[in-house]
Chains A and B, each alone.
Chain A
Amino acid sequence: MSSKRERGLIELYNDDPERADALVFGRRADKGADGVGRRGFLKGAGLATMGAAVGASIPFAQNMPSGLFPAAMAQTPAAGAAAGPKVLKMDGKADLILLQEKPLNAETPDHLLDDAVTPVEKFFIRNNGLVPEMPADINTWKLTVDGEVDKPLSLTLGELLNRFTLKTYRMQVECGGNGRSFFAPETRGNQWGNGAIGCAEWTGVPLRDVLQAAGLKSSAVYTGHYGADPHLSGDPNRPTISRGVPIAKAMEEHTLIAVRMNGKPIPVMHGAPLRVVCPGWPGSTSQKWLTRIWIRDKEHDGPGMGGASYRVTKVPMVPGGKTPDSNMKVLESMPVRALLTNIANGTELPAGTREIAVRGHAWAGEKTVRAVHVSVDYGVSWNKMTVQNPHNKYAWQRWQGKVAVPSEGYYEIWTRATDSDGKMQPHVAGNWNPQGYGGNPFQRVAVLVKA
Chain B
Amino acid sequence: MAFVRAGLILAAALAAGWWFAATPATATEDEPENLPEGPGREETFYSCTACHGMAIVTQQGMSRARWDDTIDYMMARHGMPELDPADRKLVVEYLSVHFPSRQRGATNPFLKR
Q: Tell me the A residues contacting B by CB distance below 8 Å.
A: 11, 13-17, 67, 78, 80-81, 86, 88-93, 98-104, 131, 134, 138-139, 157-159, 161-162, 166, 183-186, 188, 190-191, 231-233, 235, 238, 259-260, 264-265, 267-269, 272-273, 303, 307, 309, 318-322, 432, 434
Contact = CB atoms under 8 A, between A and B. Distances in A.
Contact of A307 (B24, B51, B55, B77): B77
A233 B18 contact: no
B7 A158 contact: yes
B18 A99 contact: no
Contact of B55 (A100, A264, A268): A100
Nearest to B59: A191
Interface residues of B, number: 53
B52 A102 contact: yes
Nearest 5 A/B pairs, CB to CB: A92-B20, A184-B105, A100-B55, A184-B103, A232-B51
Contact of A190 (B19, B26, B59, B99): B59
Contacts of A92: 18, 20-21
A101 B3 contact: no
21 contacts: A14-B103, A67-B104, A89-B24, A90-B23, A91-B25, A100-B53, A101-B27, A139-B3, A139-B6, A183-B103, A185-B104, A186-B61, A191-B59, A233-B78, A264-B18, A272-B19, A307-B77, A318-B110, A319-B105, A321-B110, A322-B69
Given A81-B58, A185-B103, A259-B6, A232 B28 contact: no
> Chain A's interface: helix, strand, loop or mixed, by majority?
loop
Contacts of B1: 162
Given A101-B28, A131-B22, A259-B6, A233 B79 contact: yes
B73 interface: yes
Given A161-B5, A264-B18, 13 more contacts: A92-B21, A100-B53, A101-B55, A139-B6, A139-B10, A157-B6, A158-B7, A184-B104, A231-B79, A233-B79, A269-B22, A319-B108, A320-B106
With most chain A CB atoms within 10 A of its CB, the pick from B19, B69, B76 is B19
B86 interface: no
Contacts of B61: 80, 185-186
With most chain A CB atoms within 10 A of its CB, the pick from B6, B50, B73, B76 is B6
B53 A185 contact: no
A100 B110 contact: no
Contacts of A89: 24-26
A136 to B, nearest CB: 11
B101 A185 contact: yes
A298 B91 CA distance: 38
A190 B53 CA distance: 12
A186 B62 contact: yes
Interface of B: 1-3, 5-7, 9-10, 13, 17-28, 50-53, 55-56, 58-63, 65-66, 69-70, 73, 76-80, 99, 101-106, 108, 110-111
A233 B22 CA distance: 18
Contact of A238 (B18, B60, B79, B108): B79
B102 A11 contact: yes
B22 A158 contact: no
B49 to A, nearest CB: 9
A101 B59 CA distance: 12
Nearest to B65: A322
B10 A80 contact: no
B19 to A, nearest CB: 5
Given A80-B60, A186-B103, A319-B108, A273 B10 contact: yes
A233 B101 contact: no
With most chain B CB atoms within 10 A of its CB, the pick from A98, A138, A191, A235 is A138
A409 B51 CA distance: 48
A131 B73 CA distance: 23
Contacts of B21: 90-92
A320 B60 CA distance: 13
B69 to A, nearest CB: 8
Nearest to A306: B77
Contacts of A134: 19
B9 A265 contact: yes
B64 to A, nearest CB: 11
Contacts of B2: 161-162, 166
B106 to A, nearest CB: 4
Contact of B104 (A15, A86, A99): A15
B18 to A, nearest CB: 6
Contacts of B5: 161
Contact of B3 (A91, A104, A158, A268): A158
Contacts of B20: 90-93, 267-269
A100 B59 contact: yes
Contacts of A80: 58-61, 99, 102
Given A101-B55, A162-B2, A188-B70, A265 B104 contact: no
A337 B41 CA distance: 40
Contacts of B18: 92, 264-265, 267
